[in-house]
Every structure is written in structure tokens, then in C-alpha cells.
Structure 1
Amino acid sequence: MIEKRAFYIGGQWVCPAAPRDHQVINPSTEEACAVISLGDQVDTDKAVAAAKAAFPAWAVTPLDLRRTYVERILAQYYIRAEEMAQAISMEMGAPIDFARNSQAPCVSEHIEGFLSALDRMEWAHDMGPEAPGTRIVKHPIGVVGLITPWNWPMNQVTLKVIPALLAGCTLVLKPSEEAPLSSMLFAEFVHDAGVPAGVFNLVNGDGAGVGTQMSSHPDIAMISFTGSTRAGKAISRTAAETLKRVTLELGGKGANVIFADAGEEAVTKGVRRMFNNAGQSCNAPSRMLVERPLYDRALEVARKAAEETTVAPAAKSGSHIGPVVNRAQWDKIQDLIQSGIDEGATLLAGGTGLPEGLNKGYFIRPTVFADVRPGMRIEKEEIFGPVLSMLPFDTEEEAIQIANDTEYGLTNYVQTADKARARRLGLQLNAGMIEMNYRSLGDGAFFGGVKSSGTAREGGIWGINEFLIEKAISDWN
């Protein structure tokens, strides 16, 4: 059993103010793999005080030196990348090869991206002839609280911690209590990189405890949160009392609009993309809208792709998908699958219960529903598991209407050989990100949505700007 009860506060690992053990469960085995402590108000206050004390010096630390510290964090990751992959695989169930190739490398990919963006940042500029002598200057907002999820732990930690550091903010990180081990290892990277004491702090806890304490804390100037829409709303309400900035990256219910000219391969890719990370991605293409001439063939192709998707424990090498993170998620997904059956959707593959050959672990059968109607629970609710809903459409206008008829607006997808049509949909689909023909957004593009998906803009120049405020100064010249 791994024991990691300490918090990282003021440049050192310190014991919690009061014991409050929490078991971290390996979702492949349903057994405890580690024990951490959940913090209380005293721990949160200590961490915020350390960040507040460190802020004045860090805010004026030369940018080149802040950059050097981040480069040292990156160097620590390269030394210990395998440890990071192992931690992620154990705590949240990512298959080890996927953890090595996709989950852990988020650290290096995002750090390198932010360092590149740093070279393009404009930190100050004159207003121009219309406002002679007026200077606009960007500076760090202050102490920030970062609350991160379990599904892509290092993706979200790196997308928040690194731009905050580069911007000149000091911070308190609360990782998910479901997957804290990777973040505690990241804290070791920060420590070994020599980042000054108090600049980075970590307190483990749950949302109702440390999360709420950070959101309401008068000395925290900003909260950056990734998680459920429900929790994002609660954080916004709590943070409103202290008028702090809140940036939210929340849930999604992405539509993947496949026109007939995209062909069968687009369907196969869409199923595989949906099942990636066991469906535990907020930008998953969970609603597949297929143009009528391709629809019947698409059902067979999707069924075959689902049946070819294997499920196995996270420690096993291979290209399979692993479990979902915990029992609560497993139960929720089972209920939603059953609701699809009860509401009359056609079950093409998968269904309720454990996959064949597995008698423990939070594993879900890769599931595909056909003939899903708008308004069904599986079409409306974010499932956060390997469950795909397929709907036919007849016209471009109908596809747009169905795709936009959701409270969410994170990522939508379009597959077509018609460039003009792709551009039309790109402009009319209501989401923060539109991916065409499975081509990823370019380096430096932000990640973020609209509506109930939140309006955060993480990554690249946008990600650094999230942690900056602008000041107007007259008579500069």
C-alpha cells in the first residue's frame, strides 16, 4: 500500500492538520492501492498563506527565470516519465501503454506548447494615436486555486499549473481525490526543479471540503476548474461572494456529423475515438449523426468496431480500453445504458453488465445504440463511458439543428469531402472547437467550449492570458 498523506505547502511536505485518510482505489481490481489524507480548512489556509507570501517576489521574477524553472520541471518529467505513466494507470485505470503514449506525455506536450506561446506573448502595448501616452500592461492576477479532474489528470494539471507559473501567479492545486498520485509526483517535479517555496502548493481534498474552501477563500483571486457542469455551477456560486475570476472547463456531448461522402472509414474512426480512454473525455464524439444514404451501412460498421474493441485491466499491455474510474461512475453508466434500452433505442453492441471474462473491476461493455431519437437520455446526458448514440439525418440543416440542440458546446466534429460544406458547418455548429475530418486542431490552439461546457480557453497564448489582468496607465511616454 502506497502511503501519501502529506501535502506540499511552502516548499516542503507537511503533515495534515488532522488525520483524515482516504483510500485511492485501483479501478481494475476494486482494491485500495494507496492512502492519502483529505485536507481541512487549516490546511487550505496554510497553503493559501504560503502562496500569498510568495506572490510579490514571484510576480516580479524576470520572465526568463520563470521560463527556466518551467524548463527544469520538464526535465524532471523526462527523467521520471515511466513513474508518471504507472501512477496514472493505477489510479484511474488507463491501460499502461495508453498511459505511456497519451496520458503522461501531456506534461511534455503542453509545457513545450506554453514555452512556444511565451515567445509570442505581448505583455504591454501603447494604445496608439487615439489615446496618446496610454500604456496597456498585463500582470499576474494573484494567488490562484486550481481544481483538476481524474480523467486526464496530467493534461489538466499541466494546462493550469504551467501557464499560471509563467504568468507570474502563485497557486494552490487540488487534484481529484480519485487520482491524486500523479499530481503528487508532479509536485516532486516542481520541488526538484527548484521552484521557490510557496509558489506551488498542493492540498488533497474533496470538492465539498478543500474545493469549497478554495472557491470561497478571500485571498484567492481566481479559480480555474475542470470537471462536471454541476460542480462548475456550485463553484461559481461560491466564488461570487468574493468576486474572484472563475474559469470553467466542463462537460460535453459532442456531435460527430458524418456525411455519406466521408465513407465507412469515418464511422470506424468515430467509434474508436469515442471509446478512447474508455469514453472518459469531455470532448468525446458521443453522438454520431450519419447522413441517411450511409446510415444502414454505418450501423454494421459501428457494431463491428465495437465488437473488435477489447476490454482488459490497466496493467496489461495492449491496445484495449480499461475500466471507468469508480463504482459510482460504473453504476451511472449502467443506468444510462438501461435507459437507452427502455426508451426504445436499438442496442447494436454491448449492453449492461461486465464484459465477458471479467468478474471484477469497473469495466463497461463497449456499447453502441442505433435509432436514437433526440431527447432520449443517452442523447442528452453526458455518459462519460464507452457508449455511442447513432442518429440519422437527411439534410445539412437537420444535422446542424440536432447537433446544436444540447446544453453543451465543447467539441463538434464534421466528416465530409465537401470543403465548402465543412466550412458552413464549422461556422454554424455551436461549440468552442470544431474538428474536421479527424484532423486535430493545430499547435497553439486553445481548448474550451461554450454554454454548459464552460468558457475557459486553455492552451497556447489564451491559456497564459487566463491568469493575467490588464492595467491601463496614462502619461507613459
Structure 2
Amino acid sequence: MKRFENLIGGEKCPAASGKWLRSLDPYRNEDWCEIPDSDEVDVDRAVEAARDAFQSDAWRSLTPTARGALLRRVGDLIAENAERLAELEVRDNGKLLSEMLAQLKYIPQWYYYFGGLADKIEGGVLPIDKADHFVYTNWEPLGVIAAITAWNSPLLLLTWKLAPGLAAGNTFVIKPSEFASASTLAFADLFEEAGFPAGVVNVLTGTGRGAGQRLVSHPDVAKVAFTGSEATGRAISSSAGANLKHATLELGGKSANIVFADADLQAAAAGVASGIFAATGQTCMAGSRLLVQREVYEEFLQAICTIAEGIKLGNPVDPDTQMGPVANAPHYQKVLGMISQAMDDGAELAYGGNPHTDASGGLFIQPTVFRDVSNESRLAQEEIFGPVLAVIPFDTEEDAIAIANGTPFGLAAGVWTTNMSRTFRISQKLKSGTVWVNTYRALSYIAPFGGMKASGLGRESGQEMIKSYMQTKTVWINNSTEAVTNPFIMRLS
């Protein structure tokens, strides 16, 4: 069985305890590798390495232009290693090789983009109201960043944090999910190959209780950048607030795909299917609620069920496979349990709802569609994070907005219509960090992404995000040669 080791201060090492965790291949439903079961001792070592690197001449003396060059070199190395890294991700989380390879080939763009931004963050001279003072501002890095990522797209989610954070001049301790750590451990090697000083990028693996809690609360960590569940996000937010840390939290969603009667129904059906069944529904932005205008409700519901019935489940490396297994055993049981609970609560099943039997013994669940769902039900209110769609009819535009906004979440929404004036009206009223119109699951390094309400705090990607890894310093220089008239009065004039 293959073993991967932590990367701390430029050295590969097991956990100090000598303990290991096994990682499951969800397609074969068997363990395939071991990762370190790190604890507080390993966290303290990794944070110390990141802190020392942050304070070192090797890192602090690099100009922003030089940091940008290193990031662009990392981008090149990722492109060169895309297939190998994608294969590791597929082995660990069961997502389609075609999707993970597409992600890996696009991920370099974040490093090129933020590498280009590294030397374009400018302070300014202030036109201060005190004639004898010269005042200016500059932007400085925060320090050690804790990056904690989810198991569904480990390297993409990590990149959203690493690229701007490194461009800003910070150092990192990374803790990937214990359910999908192998690709991150392999990925980290590329940063030293690109020329980053040892300790700038550190990775340790382990459970949230064993390593994550200590990392979040560590006094030398300046910011926590987290992607994961709402419950864990709330705990991190509480800890960060108590310790006065910066935090970016990209959490869950219960996103609505809204289909109006005037939409291109064929295109909408494809978009809706992509929004919930792609990646086996294991994305924070999954369009897990489908709102359909009543005039076309039955017709559109049938179209979605027909697509669901035709989805090919199977080996994620097979180019013909359209949906892979659920990523890990605990989550597999959770999704099946929520489907069962929905049926016990009276939800009407339109398609699926069962485990899918495959010769591999993998953790497969049928694409599942529930019809005529109440927006107040658990099925419509709680994130399932699986291939489960709740279909809800609506009558008017106002109804659609009220239903779409009627959950604790606010990560994303989709709108399908040919009425362009409606797109502007409804986009303004939807309480979502992202609104897609006549498309879904579109992402770019240029566009900010993040949620409202219980879907998180802050944004990732986009030009302004580099500043979320920095802080402003104001410098006052007194040019006057006159004596201070009264040192006990604040200088206000």
C-alpha cells in the first residue's frame, strides 16, 4: 500500500506519533494508500516552520516581482504534472478523470493571474490635512495562513487560497481532508521544485479533531481559509473570532435552479442536470433545488427524469462514464440516510433513490429526483451533497424569488429564461453570492466566488482577493522643525 508523508519545513516526514490513516478508493471500495495521522505535535512543527520561513531573509527579501515569477513557474509545473495529479484525485475521491483533468489543466491560470498581480498592489500617498506631515500607506502580508480544504476538489479549492496568499507574501500550513489528501501531498512538492524557500508551503494530514482544531486555534496562525461544511465553518468562525484571526469561509449551499416557461427547455434541462448530477452532486454550488414554472412543470420534470435515467455510472477513468461513486463511506451512508428520511417524511420519488449495484463494489447511488417538494421540508432546506434533486413548482417571478431565497444558504443560483429584463430584475433580488443566467457551474480565476448568509464569509478568486491576505499599514512622517506646543493633546490640527 502506497504511503504519502507530510511536508514540513521542506522535509518529508511521518506523523510524530507514527500513526497512519488509510484512504479509500471509492470506486473499488478498498483502501489504497496511507497518510500520516498528525496531531498537535505535528501542527506545532508545521506552524513553526511556516513562521520561520515568513520571517526568513530567503522569503522576506524576495520582491513581489520575484514572487510572481515563482508562481508562474508553479503554474507551468502544474500543467506538466496535470495527468498524474488528476489520477491521484480520482483514486482518492472517485470523481471523473475527465473533470479532474480539466480542473488540473485550468488551475495554472490562478497562478499566472495572481503571479501577475503580485507586484501591482500599490499603497498611496494621502493628501493629509496637516501641512507639516507626509503620510502614506502600504500593504503587507498577514503571516502564517492555515488552509483547510474539502475532499471534493482538493487542488482547485487549495489553489483559490494558495495563489493569492503566496502572491501577497504569506506562508502556509495546509490541512486537506483526511478523505482525500494524497493529491495535495504530491502537489506540494511542486512549490519547492519551482524555487520557493523551504517552509513557505507545508502540508500535514489528519483528522479535524487530531490536527484541525489545533491548527485553527494556534496563536501563530494569522488567518484561516476554509472550504467545507456549514457546521465546521461555524466552529472555525467562533474560534477565529475568539482569537482575533482573519477568516475566509466557503461553506455549503442549497442552490436554486429557476426555470421559467419561456426558457430554452432543452438547454435548461442540460444545465440543471449538470448542476446536480455532475460530480455526483458533491459540489458546494450544486443546484440541488429545481424551481420550475407551473406551465411547463410536468414537461420539464419528465425531461430531467429522462436524463437521470440515461446517466452512465461506472469507472471514473472511463471516458464514457458520466457519474462516479460517492467519495467516501461515511458520506455514502449519510446521503442514503437523507434519501430514506425524505421518503419517510412523505416526499414523492420521481426517479432513483437507491444504491446502484456495480461489479466494482463501488459506493454508487442512483441519480435521484423528488417531485412536488415543499420548500419548508428538510429535503429542500438541508444540504445533502449528493445526486439528489428537489423539484418545486412556482407560478410567478415573485414566487420564484421567495422560494429561492427561502433557505439559510446563499451560495449560488441559476436562472433560465429568454427574457433579458427579467434576468436583471431577478439577479438583483436573489440573495446569492453567484447568479448564473442560462448557464451553470461556470468558474474563473477572474470572478469572485463565495456565499451570503450561512454559505460563508469572504470571497475567493478575482482581483481584490489578494488584499484579503494582506493588511494596510499607515506611516506618518513629521516634516516640521517646530517644537511640540502641548504633548498632552492629540495632534488633530
TM superposition score normalised by structure 1: 0.95
Match of 1:463 in 2: 465
Rounded Cα–Cα distance in structure 1 between residues aligned with 2:225 and 2:342 = 34
Any conservation in 1 of the 2:410–2:454 contact (CA below 8 Å)?
Answer: yes
Q: 1:12 to 1:442 in 2, by over 3 A?
A: closer
- Which range moves more in the overlay, 314-323 or 243-252? 314-323
Rounded Cα–Cα distance in structure 2 between residues aligned with 1:118 and 1:141 = 15
Rounded Cα–Cα distance in structure 2 between residues aligned with 1:181 and 1:130 = 56
Gaps of 5+ in 2: 480-493
State the 1:312 CA deviation: 0.6
State the 1:53 CA deviation: 0.9
State the 1:24 CA deviation: 0.6
Rounded Cα–Cα distance in structure 2 between residues aligned with 1:326 and 1:175 = 15
Matched, 1:159 2:130: no
The SS at the match of 1:321 is coil
Any conservation in 2 of the 1:88–1:104 contact (CA below 8 Å)?
Answer: no
Matched, 1:108 2:108: yes
- The aligned amino acid for 1:210 is A
The SS at the match of 1:261 is coil
**Deviations 1:350-385, CA, capped at 9 Å, x for gaps:** 112x22545721111001111111111111111101
Rounded Cα–Cα distance in structure 1 between residues aligned with 2:444 and 2:80 = 28
Matched, 1:250 2:251: yes
Rounded Cα–Cα distance in structure 2 between residues aligned with 1:131 and 1:269 = 58
Q: 1:104 to 1:443 in 2, by over 3 A?
A: closer
Rounded Cα–Cα distance in structure 2 between residues aligned with 1:148 and 1:278 = 19
Any conservation in 1 of the 2:444–2:461 contact (CA below 8 Å)?
Answer: no
Match of 1:449 in 2: 451
- The aligned amino acid for 2:3 is E
Match of 1:35 in 2: 34
- The aligned amino acid for 2:112 is E
Any conservation in 1 of the 2:314–2:358 contact (CA below 8 Å)?
Answer: no
Matched, 1:194 2:195: yes
Any conservation in 2 of the 1:292–1:393 contact (CA below 8 Å)?
Answer: yes
Q: How many equivalent pairs are there?
A: 473
Any conservation in 1 of the 2:252–2:455 contact (CA below 8 Å)?
Answer: yes
* Aligned partner (choices 299, 302, 311) of residue 301 of structure 2: 299
State the 1:292 CA deviation: 1.2
Rounded Cα–Cα distance in structure 2 between residues aligned with 1:414 and 1:116 = 34
State the 1:473 CA deviation: 2.0
Match of 1:321 in 2: 323
Match of 2:483 in 1: none
Any conservation in 2 of the 1:252–1:283 contact (CA below 8 Å)?
Answer: yes
Any conservation in 2 of the 1:97–1:319 contact (CA below 8 Å)?
Answer: no
The SS at the match of 1:304 is helix
Task: Report matched runs for 1:46-125 at 5 Å.
Answer: 46-56=45-55, 57=57, 58-101=59-102, 103-118=103-118, 121-125=120-124
Rounded Cα–Cα distance in structure 2 between residues aligned with 1:357 and 1:216 = 43
Indicate the RMSD between aligned Cα atoms, in angstroms.
1.8
Match of 1:285 in 2: 287
- The aligned amino acid for 2:310 is E
- Which range moves more in the overlay, 156-165 or 108-117? 108-117
**Deviations 1:106-125, CA, capped at 9 Å, x for gaps:** 42232233235447x43212
**Deviations 1:318-351, CA, capped at 9 Å, x for gaps:** 2411011111111111111122222333212111
Rounded Cα–Cα distance in structure 1 between residues aligned with 2:301 and 2:93 = 31
Match of 1:373 in 2: 374
Matched, 1:3 2:15: no
Q: 1:104 to 1:128 in 2, by over 3 A?
A: same
Rounded Cα–Cα distance in structure 1 between residues aligned with 2:71 and 2:420 = 40
Match of 2:488 in 1: none
Any conservation in 2 of the 1:90–1:315 contact (CA below 8 Å)?
Answer: no
The SS at the match of 2:262 is helix
Match of 2:400 in 1: 399
- Which range moves more in the overlay, 241-250 or 397-406? 241-250
Q: 1:175 to 1:83 in 2, by over 3 A?
A: same
Match of 1:26 in 2: 25
**Deviations 1:15-63, CA, capped at 9 Å, x for gaps:** 3211111001001111011011111111111111111111123244201
Any conservation in 1 of the 2:2–2:32 contact (CA below 8 Å)?
Answer: yes
Match of 2:435 in 1: 434
Match of 1:263 in 2: 264
Gaps of 5+ in 1: none
TM superposition score normalised by structure 2: 0.92
Rounded Cα–Cα distance in structure 2 between residues aligned with 1:13 and 1:442 = 33
Structure number, greater radius of gyration: 2
Any conservation in 2 of the 1:88–1:99 contact (CA below 8 Å)?
Answer: yes
Rounded Cα–Cα distance in structure 2 between residues aligned with 1:259 and 1:424 = 14
The SS at the match of 1:475 is strand
Any conservation in 2 of the 1:140–1:467 contact (CA below 8 Å)?
Answer: yes
Any conservation in 1 of the 2:64–2:118 contact (CA below 8 Å)?
Answer: no
Match of 1:362 in 2: 363
- The aligned amino acid for 1:63 is P
**Deviations 1:166-221, CA, capped at 9 Å, x for gaps:** 10001111111111111011111112112101111111111112110111101111
State the 1:475 CA deviation: 3.4
Rounded Cα–Cα distance in structure 1 between residues aligned with 2:130 and 2:269 = 55
Rounded Cα–Cα distance in structure 2 between residues aligned with 1:9 and 1:297 = 57
The SS at the match of 1:156 is helix
Rounded Cα–Cα distance in structure 1 between residues aligned with 2:277 and 2:37 = 32
